Amino acid sequence: MSRPRNLSLACLLALAPALCGCGATMQDFGHNLGEAHKASSDMSSTGMGSGLAGGDFNPMNLAIKPAATVMAAGIMTFAVGHRLNAVTRITTLPDPQARIAAWEKEIKSDPSFIDAYYHLASDCQQAGDQAKALESLDQALARPEFPRFTLKELRKPKKRTTSPADVQLLRAMILYQKGEKDRALDALAQAIEFQSGLVAEIDAQKKADFMDFMPRQALGSCHFFRGGLLTAEGRYDEALKDYESVKALYAAQLRGEGPQLKGMMADAMRPIFEQTARQQMSNYHSGRTMLLSLTQRCPEAKAEALEARAYFQDRQEYLAEMDRNAGLAPQAYTPQLMEQIKLYPDKAAPEPEYLRQFAAYQSKTMAGADGKQSPKEREALLACLGR
């Protein structure tokens, strides 16, 4: 494996909060260790694509997969000794039931291994055992070792473990699936409060190491998920506020505001954070497109759809330049990303045709929490953009 690909892998794992989407679990990392650059394309296009912050109207598809948040970076920088070996070994097992059994064995032998509870919950959730997943998360929250850290503690290697925001994101996802929407919103509120405190503390600094950017990525994920959940509930004004919070996080980053990235990995990490911000801004404008369509503010919805295209194109050009600078072959895009590339053929394409394609693409993937098509939202989008 060449040096550029090793750097790509480190960046991919550390940036999982923003790059990984629905279905992108820790197992995916293991299967793609030899193709890290391709994996980064896969992760950034699944679940966080051109749709309402994630390609599907179902808020479950807007969430960053919790098993691929700050804990993903644990493979590279957080875990030590036996725990590092356990995380690496178990997350690469292809059989979900084998992973579940392995995590249970780890917990039995080391009840303080918080990461094991988290991964166990994620694998149980994917296997459809929501009750067991919630039980595992509750056990993690009850452990005295569960991290309740400040920025100072975050920077201590032994404290770098599963974040409370990760646990609450996964809890919110499961609670929403179970129909417990108020509890899901409460879990997200707790995660946002925690991450907002860390981000505020970081922004007060003049410089930051790359790990200090993790809370910002997690906070954006929390706002995206809550925005999708509120949209599904018809609480559009509240959802817009969450999307505005996402914009504030990433637009400032692209303007170079806030603490500047310093340290050994700064040069490798900085361009990845920048392309992540571009992807998130495309998601932001796509989300606003849907919300404005639902409230029949069609001229504004059209403008947002065009902004989404511009950011998506900027991101693709940026990735291509990164490939060239690193001496890598062009990325092997996923089918979902290829759909998006066809959707945004170029910035100069005729607006009416692009808007029709955008409406058709989005309406094809929209679904409610039960996975069924959502005719109200689909018709609103088509009425605003596609006719």
Collapsed DSSP state (helix, strand, coil) of residue 260 = strand
Q: Does domain 3-386 have CATH number 1.25.40.10?
A: yes
- Chain segment 92-142, per-residue pLDDT in tens: 888 989 999 999 999 999 898 888 898 999 899 889 899 999 999 999 888
| Contact in structure between 276 and 267 (CB atoms under 8 Å) | no
Domain spans, the chain = 3-386
pLDDT at 129: 93
Could you tell me which residue, 250 or 209, shows the higher pLDDT?
250
- Look at residue 325 and tell me whether its pLDDT is greater than 60: yes
Report CA torsion sign: 6, 9, 13, 17.
Answer: positive
pLDDT at 67: 33
| Mean pLDDT across the chain | 68
CA angle 295, 298, 303 (to 5 degrees): 120
Q: Distance from first CA to last CA of the chain, Å, rounded?
A: 50
Whether 249 contacts 276, CB under 8 Å: no
What's the CA gap between 29 and 9, in Å, rounded? 9
Going by pLDDT thresholds of 50, 70 and 90, the confidence category of residue 82 is low
Q: What pLDDT, in 10s, does the model give residues 268-302?
A: 677 777 777 777 788 788 888 888 888 888 899 88
The SS3 assignment for 207 reads strand
Flag the least confident range among 20-34, 181-195, 279-293, 339-353. Answer: 20-34
> How many whole angstroms from its chain centre is CA 289?
20
Asked whether the predicted pLDDT for residue 70 surpasses 90, the reply is no
pLDDT above 70: percentage of residues in the chain = 58
Q: Is residue 77 scored above 50 in pLDDT? A: no
pLDDT confidence of residue 182: 92
CA–chain centroid gap for 369, Å, is 19
Q: Which residue has the higher pLDDT, 182 or 330?
A: 182
Residue 123 pLDDT: 92
Question: How many Å apart are CA 100 and CA 278, to the nearest integer?
Answer: 36
Q: Which two tokens stand for residue 327?
A: 């001496």
- The model's pTM is 0.67
